[in-house]
Chain A
Amino acid sequence: MEAANHKNDQDADYYATQAKHVRQCLKEAYWAFGIWFVGGVVCLSIIFTQGFVPVDERPAEPVLMWGMPAWVVWGLFIPWFGTTIATWCFAVFILKDEEPYLEFPNAENETASTTSS
């Protein structure tokens, strides 16, 4: 009886921890997609407005910055620095490892590894 209760407690722990893990992973995924979205919008909008210049409107002397076309610096390199810093901040502040690792409950594990056609 005591052993059965102990197993039930262990299983309850497992399910609670697993649910918490899923919530945390979802939160991290939302942040990652958020950085992806903001980075993409900034990067592409600058490239599209400054990089796609009709032939007739291109200046006789190309606009350069640090030896490159200006759209490359503003639309690519600067957003790249930004997303690099955002990724570091994500790793420090958002990415967590608070859910202890637990094995699948035994009985269910056997079920899980038995697949059907």
Chain B
Amino acid sequence: MNQLLAVGGEETARWYELHQTDPYILIPFIGYMVGVFVIAIVAHKYLKKDGFEEEYYVGGRSFGAWVLAFSWVATLASGGSFLGYPSLIYSYGWSMGLWVSGSTVTAIIGIVVAGKRINRLARQTGALTLVDLLRDRYRSHTVGVVYALVIVFVTTVYLMAQFVAGARILQSILETSYVMGLLVFTVSVVAYTTYGGFRAVAWTDTLQGIVMIIGIVMLVPMAVSAVGGLEKATQSLATREDPAAIAKGQQTERHAYLYLPGPQKFLKKDADPDSAPLDDVWLPIGLGISMFLLRSLGAVMMPTTIPRMLAFRDTKALRRALYVLAPYFLLMYGSSLITMNCAHALDLGLAPHESDQAVPELAKRVAHPLLVGLLIAAPFAAVMSTVDSALLVISASVVRDLVQKTFCPNMSTKSTKRLSYIVTAVAGAAVFLLALTEPPFLQPLVIYYVAGGSSSLFWPSLATLFWRRTTTAGVIAGLVGGTSVFVLCDLLHPFDSIVQLHPFVFGFSCSGILVCVVSLLTPKQNSSHLDLYFGRGA
């Protein structure tokens, strides 16, 4: 413990000064946290001895529209949406509008394309994870193991970003060190996830989804009013100096914060003129197209949202969930764009590397103390709802997909239960250690997860659901090829001199081609087995 605290250096002394924090901020925040734990305790009662796994991983497949909608969106909208993206708007102004262009169609593309089909097949096969479904469809443990490993890898990167976001919020609200914030965050989220399982996660996600949207929408009138109107805020941005350009001895481009591709970007924490551009944030046209594809198609097969597709009750629930989801993204990102562009004019006094604190700092600045706790709870809820889902995904991948299905098919319920608890807790502890490195920007890590996940998982999963001709070899080729090409392009940027697209586009395209070509080149699967999935005469 002392060693962990020492990482934070002199800041760690603040752990003993929690009493200095404003109680008006802490009271609603603590109320929210108590609500989360009460939900976990109630959800735990559903974890009966019989059917433990179905309850722990898919909540008994009983979720209605509200739980489906809010738990799906709360999981999708992570700390990246409520801290990372606002931080980029705070840093780069209206130019970041292009970043969320893909979110205009996320609701329909993200949950409709695969949701209904996955839900039905999972019920029919008894699958508790997407990997279960694929393993049975292809009758191949190899597919299951490769899929599970890819999921664990990309989800761990994602979790790390979320832990950092959670720690930063607690660092701000408790006025403590980053390490102590991280520790408090880890213990609380791992505890309720491990104890309550998927039902607790989905119920708390619902609460969190509601808190998130209320919080972010409430900030809009407060921020606009504090700055004296949106037009005034934008006019102030129009004359804003670009610190990156100044550091290089250059002049700020005219209206750099109002037009694309926006002001110059830095990679390092300080405004070092020799820093390389932060490619994931830079927005020439090619990367604009990439971001559109990423933010829409990337939502379809995200490991953290797939469990919701396995858990909803029926199509009626899906339809009603769409009514809620369609305007949710508009409200969420639209509000962020407006509030964070107002935040510039208020001069929050944040250094470039502290911009992830922009939402909590703005809330402290413009809201009544009684509301600040709720407003700060919103991004915290976004982080928690993503972390709990990701922890369960890792737990399911390890326990269900790797250990139980591959190595110990006769594992008892008691052993499964114990192992599920242990893996969830160990995954949380492992990510805690990774998060101690404290990366400067969250959003690139979030993008890395979405990009890596969809590069590898999108086409193999979609083809499994809709294309009868897909084979085991095709799926594995798509998975491995998509992941490899994405990682290589991300590291080496081999095509940048030809066309500036995000590495995701290359991995994604390569995966689709490989699934298609390799499937056609390898023998068909047994027809009678496929009839179970596709019927006859389809």
Contacts and interface: CB of A to CB of B under 8 A. Distances in A.
Q: Do A and B come from one complex?
A: yes
Interface of A: 14-23, 25-26, 28-29, 32-33, 35-36, 39-40, 43-44, 47-48, 51-53, 55, 58, 62, 64, 66-69, 71-72, 75-77, 79-81, 83-84, 86-88, 90-92, 95-97, 101-105, 108-109, 111-117
B284 to A, nearest CB: 8
A83 B105 contact: yes
Given A16-B536, A83-B108, A108 B529 contact: yes
A91 B259 contact: no
A14 B323 CA distance: 31
A23 B101 contact: no
Contacts of B136: 112-113, 115
Nearest to A19: B535
B369 interface: no
A62 B236 CA distance: 11
Interface in B492-538: 528-529, 531-538
5 contacts: A18-B531, A58-B259, A62-B238, A101-B123, A117-B142
Determine the main DSSP class of B at the interface with A.
helix
A67 B94 CA distance: 11
Contact of A87 (B107, B140, B320, B532): B107
B112 A32 contact: yes
Contacts of A116: 139-141
B476 interface: no
Interface of B: 94-95, 97-98, 100-102, 104-105, 107-109, 112-113, 116-117, 120, 123-126, 135-136, 139-142, 144, 229-235, 238, 253-255, 258-261, 285, 288-289, 292, 296, 314-316, 318-320, 322-323, 325-327, 329-330, 334, 337-338, 341, 405, 465-466, 528-529, 531-538
Contacts of A62: 234-235, 238, 255, 258
Determine the main DSSP class of A at the interface with B.
helix
A19 to B, nearest CB: 3
B260 A43 contact: no
Contacts of A35: 105, 108-109
A86 B104 CA distance: 11
Given A97-B316, A113-B125, A104 B532 contact: yes
Contacts of B261: 52
Contact of A64 (B107, B112, B234, B466): B234
Nearest to B526: A111
